[in-house]
Amino acid sequence: MTGKVYLVGAGPGDPELLTLKALRILREADVIFHDDLVSPEILRLVPPEVRVSSVGKRCGRKSVTQAEINSRMIAAAQQGLTVLRLKAGDPGIFGRGGEEIEALVDADVEFEIVPGVTSACAAAASAGISLTHRRSSSSVLFLTGHTSAARTENQWPELNSGGIPDAATLVIYMPGPDYAQLRDRLRAAGVKGDTPCLLVSSASTGSAGTHSATVDKLAELAITPAPNILLVGDVTRAAREAAGAALHQSVPWQQSPLEDRIRPLTV
C-alpha cells in the first residue's frame, strides 16, 4: 500500500497565514518533515500523536541532505502513511520543491502541492507597500542570492542585457549577509546605484523589521538574522511614508490551547 506526500507551504511564519487546507493536512498527517524556518507557533498546531521531524537546512550548515529528505518522504509514503513535507513560504519558490517533485515522480509516489504565502508578499505587507503599482512597477522578478555549489556563474543573466526595466520590482530571496557583494551583483546586472531598496527581516512575525537604503548604500545596512528578503525598486519609496502607520501593523498571534485555535475548521 502506498501513501501520499503533500508538499505544503507554511507561509512566512504567522500561523494565521496558513491556508485552511494546509491546516487540515497538518492535523491529518501521520508524519511531518518540516523546514528549519517553519515557526514554533505553527508547529504547536500539530496534534501530539503525529511524528514530527526537522529536516531544516540553512545556508552554511545542513543537518539533513536533500537526498536523505527525499528518501525519508518516499519510504514513509511506501509504508502507506500520509506524509506532510512542510516548507517555509511556498514550496515552489526557492524551496527545492522541484527536486522533491522529481524524486517522488521517479519513485512513483502520489503527491499534491499546497501553495503557501510566499515571503515576497509577506515582506511587502510587513512594510505596508505593494509589489506592483500602476504608476511605478508593472512587473515583479523573483531572484535568489543563494547560489548552487555546482554553479559559479552569474545566475541573474536576465538582468545583464540592458539592465532591468524602470517599471519593475526585484525581489531577492536569501540575500545573505554580504551586502557589499549583493550591491556589486546588482550593479553588474545593470541596476542603477540610486535605486531604492528595502531589506525586510522576519516578515509577518512579531520581530519583523525593515531597513531602507539605495543599491549603492546596501553595504551600510546592519546585518540582521535570517530570514531576510530584499525588495528593490521604486515601490519601496512608499515604505518610508507608511512607516509607523497603524494600518499595516500586524495583530500579535494570541497563544491559546490547540482546540481553541483550530475549532473553526470543524464548523
Strand order from edge to edge, sheet including 209-214:
140-144, 169-173, 228-232, 196-201, 209-214
Residue 190 or 21, more confident: 21
- Whether residue 61 has pLDDT greater than 70: no
- Whether residue 245 has pLDDT greater than 80: no
Residue 263 or 198, more confident: 198
50 Cα distance to chain centroid: 24
Q: The whole model's pTM is what?
A: 0.84
The pLDDT of residue 23: 97
The CATH number corresponding to 120-248 among 3.50.50.60, 3.30.950.10, 3.40.640.10, 3.30.470.20 equals: 3.30.950.10
Tally of CB atoms within 10 A around 217: 15
- Mean pLDDT computed over 42-50: 96
The pLDDT of residue 205: 87
- pLDDT bucket at 265, cuts 50 / 70 / 90: very low
- Whether residue 238 has pLDDT greater than 90: no
- Mean pLDDT computed over 92-111: 95
Grid cell listed for 70? 527525499
Q: Could you tell me the maximum CA-CA distance found in the chain, to the nearest angstrom?
A: 59
Cis peptide before 165 (omega within 30 of 0): no
The pLDDT of residue 166: 63
- pLDDT bucket at 250, cuts 50 / 70 / 90: low
The pLDDT of residue 226: 84
Grid cell listed for 247? 494600518
Residue 40's Cβ-side half-sphere holds a number of Cα atoms within 13 Å equal to: 2
Alpha-carbon distance of 259 to 254, in angstroms, equals 13
Cβ atoms 236, 197 nearer than 8 A: yes
- State percent of the chain over pLDDT 70: 79
Pair type for strands 228-232 and 196-201: antiparallel
What confidence tens digit (pLDDT) does each residue in 130-172 have?
999 988 888 899 999 876 555 545 566 556 555 555 678 999 9
- The three-state (H, E, C) secondary structure of 176-199, written as one string: CCCHHHHHHHHHHCCCCCCCEEEE
The pLDDT of residue 257: 47
The pLDDT of residue 58: 59
- Whether residue 234 has pLDDT greater than 70: yes
Query: Ranked by mean pLDDT, which of 50-59, 111-120, 196-205 comes out on top?
Result: 111-120
Q: Cite the active site residues.
A: 35, 57
Helices marked H in 47-202: 66-78, 97-106, 119-127, 157-160, 179-188
Alpha-carbon distance of 101 to 113, in angstroms, equals 9
- State percent of the chain over pLDDT 90: 63
Cβ atoms 176, 145 nearer than 8 A: yes
- Whether residue 215 has pLDDT greater than 90: yes
Alpha-carbon distance of 113 to 110, in angstroms, equals 11
- Whether residue 244 has pLDDT greater than 70: no
The pLDDT of residue 146: 74
Alpha-carbon distance of 61 to 76, in angstroms, equals 25
**What CATH superfamily classification does 4-117 receive?**
Tetrapyrrole methylase, N-terminal domain (3.40.1010.10)
Q: Domain residues of the chain, as ranges? A: 4-117, 120-248
Phi, psi at 258, each rounded to 5°:
-50, -45
